[in-house]
Amino acid sequence: MKSRWLTLVLVLGALLSGCKTQVQVLPQVPSPTPTPTLPAEMGEPDWWEDAVFYEILVRSFSDSDGDGIGDLNGLIDKLDYLNDGDPETDTDLGVTGIWLMPIFPSPSYHGYDVTDYYGVNPDYGTREDLQRLLVEAHQRGIRVIIDLVINHTSDQHPWFLAASQDPGSKYREWYIWSEDDPGYRGPDGQQVWHAAGGSYYYGLFASSMPDLNYLNPEVTAAMDEIARFWLEDVGVDGFRLDAAKHLIENGSLQEHSAATHAWFKDFRPVYKGIKPDALVIGEVYETNSRLLRSYLEDEFDLVFQFALAEKFLASARSELGLPAWAELVKTTKDFPTNQYATFLTNHDQNRVMSQLGGDVNQAKTAASLLLTSPGTPFIYYGEEIGLQGQKPDEDIRRPMQWSGEPQAGFSSGTPWRDPESDYPVVNVYQEDGDPTSLLNHYRALIHFREDHPALSRGAFLTVTTVQAKLFACLRSLDDENLIVVINTSGEPISSYQLAVNEAPLAVGDYQLTALFGPTFETPLRVDQSGSFSLEPNLVIPPYTTWILALSPIEERN
């Protein structure tokens, strides 16, 4: 089916090359189908503040038909692994959001060069399969957002074929052209101007990915309609916008231009007008908090916090609490409350377990930091079982390891990419039955976070420990106050302090009770400034996470 479609595109291109009339090649908008509905309780604005997301490359998740390529039906078959929809069970992972990497038709395995913004990659299935996925996910309380690649198209997109083969085509102005090579390079020193038919076109990432020209109102109108189609006709719950900071260039200024910000400000009322509770998260690969924050001023609901991801891993690797603690203090000061997404790694980075040298205990520490911190957490598929992978990119996007069976239980055929060699040991089936596994650590933390809104929406306050290997913080929301304590090291810690200054706590006596961790209760006194200090006589074992509740002790008359 895919090859047939590309053949039609090439035939169209050949016809265009011999014809100077303007030919309409805008893809037809498919007829709408009934939109999957959500349970009533999922209709609240800012629902993402309580969500835990799971990033999926469909190609690598689960293959239902044995062709070696993961597909939408395979993902549907695995939804109960992610969330079975039953709040009484804890054997699922517990995630409440899915981010699908590009699902559009594309000549590449990754899909970040789109050939049809209204289609579903035939390798993955049909639009009907996608609709069924949305229905099944929503019934389980899972929202679904998709990667929307708006910065550029494929060079095989009909728009670009017309633009490159006929300078008189209306689609010529949908891309960025120059009669001469302007000569400047990209932000990473890469070539960005590419020759075609005696002219040059701009493509930031590769010659196969020509950038769209958003100074042309027709391009903006086309993308507005594409957003409407996916939100309204298909019923997805939002978008992750790829390469957001590069949208509109100003000559050699190729990042964070004023025109880029202006375009996103205009785009926000478009998608919010279509679906007020749609989530739009920008991929702004940036560690400067001021630049990141600028995209949250009437542009995106969330941005990814890359600097925090680096520090989570730095704390896990160094077995010191300070890197994560310091970056969280900075993040909560620099960003609007909860208006950022947290993660450990994504599809562009070496996997967590590879960065930590295969150390499962350090991976548990990283998971604890991620899932007890403010922000909306995103988990890259396989992270929860310790899937390894280092660049090239294909090797950090290998098939999910479901079991020790041939091909890791991913496919009955030959996978598009071999699984990692450790799949007989590192797999869902193996870890499912081990209460101490990384998988069950993730499960326990995700379910605990869901049951305790203070961990998702609560304020972040610092806790003094006088112990470099401890990470500690107070998460506070309404009447719920939780102290998180993580021993990041392989040594037991017996001498430490839990001290808080000027917390939003009423003066009085409190009980400190372990909800996640050991069984103990310790009384303490909060003074008039909301401060307290305690030195518990309880050893914190190596690589252990405690979550302690502060509960007022009612006075007896």
Catalytic residues: 242, 283
Cα angle 474, 353, 328 (rounded to 5 degrees) comes to 25
The dihedral of CA 164, 170, 172, 178: what is its sign? positive
As a whole number of angstroms, the distance between CA 464 and CA 483 comes to 11
- Contact predicate 302/48, CB 8 Å: yes
Closest alpha carbon to 363 in 283, 305, 445, 430:
445
Q: Is 340 helix (H, G, I), strand (E, B) or coil?
A: coil
- Contact predicate 242/150, CB 8 Å: yes
DSSP of 117-155:
TT---TTT--HHHHHHHHHHHHHTT-EEEEEE--SB--T
Q: How far lies 162's CA from each of 26, 118, 302, in Å?
A: 10, 18, 36
Cα end-to-end distance, the chain, whole Å: 78
Beta bridge partners of 172: none
In 165-229, which ranges are E strands?
177-178, 193-196, 199-202
As a whole number of angstroms, the distance between CA 249 and CA 257 comes to 6
Other C-beta atoms closer than 10 Å to the C-beta of 361 total: 18
Half-sphere exposure of 412 (CA within 13 A, CB side): 4
Closest alpha carbon to 491 in 520, 469, 471, 519:
469
